[in-house]
Amino acid sequence: MKLTVIAEGSTKWDRFIRKWGISYLLDSDIVFDTFGRIDLFNKNLSKLKIDVSKIKTVILSHEHWDHITGLKHLTDANKKITIYIPEGFNPKIAAKINSYGAEAIIKNNKITQIKENIYLSDSLCCSYDGKTIYEQSVIVQTEKGMTLICGCAHPGIDVIVSNINQYFNSEVTTLIGGFHLNDNSDEQNEIIINSIKYAGIKKIAPMHCTGKKASELIKKHFKTGFIKLSQGDVLDI
């Protein structure tokens, strides 16, 4: 299975110009998150020659603007899309998404198989910036082991990994995505990184909101298991 990075923003400058967020394509028919700028999202889809008419499923990790803005471009081009949002998604944003006219919008609250070997995590709740937020991730089962793909990991990347391992009675071996470690101290991140190593992670690709310092710390710990992914990259998982 191939994972394509459609769009990604991770630097302070990216944030300043609102080139912020993340979006992935799994194979040719599943999009996970839709970035924060619709013009760049659209441009990258064209540049990467992604056929929007083939997309059947869109998964939104959570309700923040930098993960949902490009969605309207997809639904304008293709109404035969099923959209999965976490239970607890902001009702006003959910209503706006509903107005786009997609084939179906499904609120997810449990680990759910959406395609052969592809699952949604349950919808985990946490407090962020004084508000309650719900977030879901994507799990891919392969012959190499389980791969976990995260949008921002607001509930805690260590918590998410532990939850998935317990459910499947197996170990996530590859971890990809935004891990939301940017605002943590090095001491806090050391604890989290050691926790996910102990949980079974062998390969890791930190992106988006992980932060430069945290990514360097992850590279130090994982060495050859560190994967550098950038916009436009394709990874076999």
Residue whose token pair is 């081009």 = 77
Closest CA to 174 of 207, 139, 198, 208: 139
Q: How many domains does the chain have?
A: 1
pLDDT given at position 143? 87
pLDDT given at position 232? 96
pLDDT given at position 101? 96
Q: Which domain holds residue 135?
A: 2-236
Q: Which residues pair with 115 in a beta bridge?
A: 118
Q: What is the pLDDT of residues 209-225, one digit of tens each?
A: 999 999 999 999 999 99
pLDDT given at position 192? 98
Cα–Cα distance, 211 to 15 (Å, whole number): 12
Torsion angle defined by CA atoms of residues 71, 75, 77 and 81, in that order, rounded to the nearest 10 degrees: 110
Per DSSP bridges, beta strands 2-9 and 234-236 are antiparallel
Cα–Cα distance, 18 to 36 (Å, whole number): 7
Residues of the chain scoring pLDDT < 50:
none
Q: What is the CATH number of the domain that holds 82?
A: 3.60.15.10
pLDDT given at position 144? 84
